[in-house]
Amino acid sequence: MPELAEVYYHSSHWKAAQGERFRLAWLHDKTRCARGLASEALAGKLSSSTLLSGYTHGKRMLFAFSGSCFLEVHLGMTGSLHRMDVDYEERKHDHLALKSEASTLLFRDPRQFGKLALHETEGGKLPDWWEALPPEPHDVAFTSERFESVLKRREKAVLKGLLLQQELFPGVGNWMADEILWRARLRPDRRLGSLSQAERDALYRELRWVCRESLRIIGKDYSDPPKSWLFTHRWKDGGICPKSKLPLKRETVAGRTTCWSPEVQR
DNA sequence: GAGCCTGTTCGGGC
DNA sequence: GGCCCGAACAGGCT
The reply to whether A173 has its C-beta less than 7 Å from any atom of strand B is yes
The band of A164, judged by pLDDT with boundaries at 50, 70 and 90, is very high
Task: Give mean pLDDT, residues A120-132.
Answer: 92
Residue A136 lies in a domain: no
pLDDT digits 0-9 by tens, A38-86: 999 999 999 999 999 999 999 999 999 999 999 999 999 999 999 999 9
Q: Cα–Cα distance between A133 and A155 in angstroms, integer?
A: 24
Q: Is residue A137 part of a domain?
A: no
Give strand letter and number of the nucleotide nearest A92 (CA to C1'). C11
CB atoms under 10 Å from CB of A14, counted, come to 22
**What proportion of chain A, given as a percentage, has pLDDT over 70?**
100
* Residue A152 binned pLDDT confidence (cut-offs 50, 70, 90): confident
CA of A195 to C1' of C11 (A): 40
Residues A118 and A148 in one domain: no
Among candidate residues A120, A91, A118, the one with its CA nearest the CA of residue A107: A91
Quick one: pLDDT at residue A1?
67
Q: Which residue is nearest to nucleotide C7 (CA to C1')?
A: A255
Q: Rounded to whole angstroms, how far apart are CA atoms A43 and A39?
A: 6
> A199 CB contacts (<8 Å, ≥6 apart)?
A184, A186
Domain with residue A15: its CATH number is 3.20.190.10
pLDDT digits (tens, 9 = 90+) for A217-265: 988 888 888 899 999 888 777 789 999 999 999 889 998 999 999 999 9
From CA A250, how far away is CA A233, in angstroms rounded?
11
Of A131, A165, A198, the residue at which a domain comes to its end is A131
Residue A94: pLDDT over 70: yes
Q: Are residues A82 and A190 in the same domain?
A: no
Nearest residue for C11, CA–C1': A111
CATH number, residue A203: 1.10.8.50
* Domain endpoint, select from A70, A105, A131: A131
Q: Is the CB of A254 under 7 A from strand C?
A: yes
Q: What is the DSSP string of A151-214?
A: HTT-TTSBHHHHHT-TTTSTT--HHHHHHHHHHTT--TT-BGGG--HHHHHHHHHHHHHHHHHH
Domain stop point among A73, A99, A131: A131
**Does residue A168 lie within 7 Å of nucleic acid chain C, judged by its CB?**
no
Answer yes or no: is A204 within a domain.
yes
Residues in chain A: 266
Q: Characterise A261 by phi-psi region: left (phi > 0), alpha (psi -120 to 50), beta (else).
A: beta
Q: A99 CA, B6 C1': separation in Å?
A: 30
- Distance (Å) from CA A235 to C1' B1? 23
The count of domains in chain A is 2
Domain that holds residue A41: 4-131
Nearest protein residue to nucleotide C6 (CA to C1' distance) is A255
